[in-house]
């Protein structure tokens, strides 16, 4: 669930694609994924707490513009990904 929530908020999971969590498809940040999963279990799988933690993180608050050199790879989460509006939002 942690990987799915991360993908929902950041546009890409720590393990991508989110349905392919196995040894041949390692996470981009294994320590972060392990810490988030352990924290989620330690707090009785409290989804609102997880969501609050994700949206208050520095990673979530990053700008979508990159001005210094070549844009980093999306799996580094160094720049916010721009997502188009859904038809309903438009």
Q: CA 90, CA 87: separation in Å to the nearest integer? A: 5
Taking the whole predicted model, whether its pTM rises above 0.85 is answered as no
User: What span, in angstroms and rounded, lies between the C-alpha atoms of 1 and 54?
Assistant: 13
Query: Coil, strand or helix: which one is 31?
Result: helix
Does residue 3 have a pLDDT over 90? yes
pLDDT at 75: 79
For 20-77, the pLDDT digits (tens) are: 989 899 999 999 999 999 999 999 999 999 999 999 998 888 888 888 888 888 878 8
* Largest interatomic CA distance in the chain: 43
pLDDT at 31: 96
Name the phi and psi angles at 31, rounded to 5: -65, -40
Residue 78's pLDDT band (boundaries 50, 70, 90)?
confident
Tokens of 2: 């942690």
């Amino acid at each position: 669930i942690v990987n799915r929530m991360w993908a929902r908020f950041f546009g890409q999971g720590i393990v991508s694609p989110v349905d392919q969590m196995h040894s041949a498809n390692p996470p981009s940040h294994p320590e972060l994924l392990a810490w988030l999963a352990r924290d989620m279990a330690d707090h009785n799988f409290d989804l609102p707490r997880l969501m609050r933690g994700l949206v208050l993180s520095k990673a979530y608050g990053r700008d979508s513009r990159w001005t210094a050199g070549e844009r980093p790879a999306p799996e580094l989460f160094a720049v916010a990904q721009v997502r188009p509006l859904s038809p309903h939002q438009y």
